[in-house]
Structure 1
Amino acid sequence: MLRKTLSSLLLTLACFQASGALGAEMVVIVSARNATEVLRADQVADIFLGQSARFPDGALAAAVDQPIGAPQRDVFYLKVAAKSPALLKAYWTKMIFTGRGQPPREEPDSVSVRRLVADNPGLIGYIDRAALDASVKPVLVVR
């Protein structure tokens, strides 16, 4: 038990280091055609964790993730949902096993996430701020 706790703590510290190493701010984005202007971190976490399938205005929402192992993904979930990669894996294992949900679709990088989200007002994703353009709009800054 102590070993598992220590491993989790070390992983969390590594995620914080990755955040600093990225040096880039991340933003949660929706299509420029989406009516949503701002979301709270808990609202974003609910969508990404399959607890909500709607934006605050009632429109359908589906999350788009970065790939497993990507530093952006680790930092995003740690800061927005308070979940380390190990906790996130355990969460989705339980959700899948109990039939209560499936993890979000994955795209290989920020540019791919931006393109997909820009084309579909029902999607939400997170990208490096540097990948932001007029086709999408930020609804939450992840610091």
Structure 2
Amino acid sequence: MLTLVLGLLPLSATALERQVVLIAHPNVANTSLTRDTTRAIFAMRQRSWPDGQAVRVFVLPNDHPVHARFAKERLTVYPHQLQLAWDRMVFSGTGQAPSQVNTQSEMLERVATTPGALGYLEREYLDERVQVITMD
């Protein structure tokens, strides 16, 4: 029995490291967001934080597995639905798409150095330069 339990521990630690978390620049006052607010921000419908500060949204490419997991698990939408919303705003002239980064390391760097930034990455990429935003 003990062997079975010990055999599961590395899997649990690995699963925790691979968890996709919402991250923000350290100057962002909010430490939590609702799923609806997070979805509105990533759909580019809400352009500011609840305290009025402008949001700079960063995303990974549509075909990146972490982007797909974030969209499905955290926002409960498919990546193509986000892309359609962004395309609609860009083509109609009512908004712009989020800034795209190519890697999780680049995501960390851009969010850490851009005031008001919001993004996501796997927990294993976190460091002290960004804060984790919880979703209610």
Q: TM-score, normalised by structure 2?
A: 0.78
Give the aligned residue type for 2:92: T
> What is the CA–CA distance in structure 2 between the aligned matches of 1:110 and 1:63, rounded to whole Å?
14
CA gap 1:85/1:37 in 2 versus in 1, 3 angstroms: closer
Deviation, structure 1 residue 49: 0.7
Q: How many residues align?
A: 120
Deviation, structure 1 residue 42: 1.4
Structure 2 unmatched ranges of 5 or more: 1-13
% same residue: 27
Structure 2 residue 45 is the aligned partner of structure 1 residue 55: no
CA contact (8 A) 1:41 1:140 kept: no
> What is the CA–CA distance in structure 1 between the aligned matches of 2:130 and 2:63, rounded to whole Å?
25
Structure 2 residue 112 is the aligned partner of structure 1 residue 118: yes
3-state SS of 1:83 partner:
coil
3-state SS of 1:75 partner:
helix
Structure 1 stretch 35-44 or stretch 123-132: which is displaced more?
35-44
Structure 2 residue 80 is the aligned partner of structure 1 residue 76: no
Deviation, structure 1 residue 105: 0.7
> What is the CA–CA distance in structure 2 between the aligned matches of 1:27 and 1:132, rounded to whole Å?
9
Report the aligned-residue RMSD.
1.8
Please name the residue that 2:127 is paired with. Answer: 133
Give the aligned residue type for 2:34: R
CA contact (8 A) 1:42 1:80 kept: no
Structure 1 stretch 88-97 or stretch 129-138: which is displaced more?
88-97
Give the aligned residue type for 1:87: Q
**Among 81, 87, 94, the residue aligned to 2:81:** 87
3-state SS of 1:55 partner:
coil
> What is the CA–CA distance in structure 1 between the aligned matches of 2:58 and 2:81, rounded to whole Å?
19
Please name the residue that 1:28 is paired with. Answer: 22
Q: TM-score, normalised by structure 1?
A: 0.75
CA contact (8 A) 2:56 2:114 kept: no
3-state SS of 2:93 partner:
coil
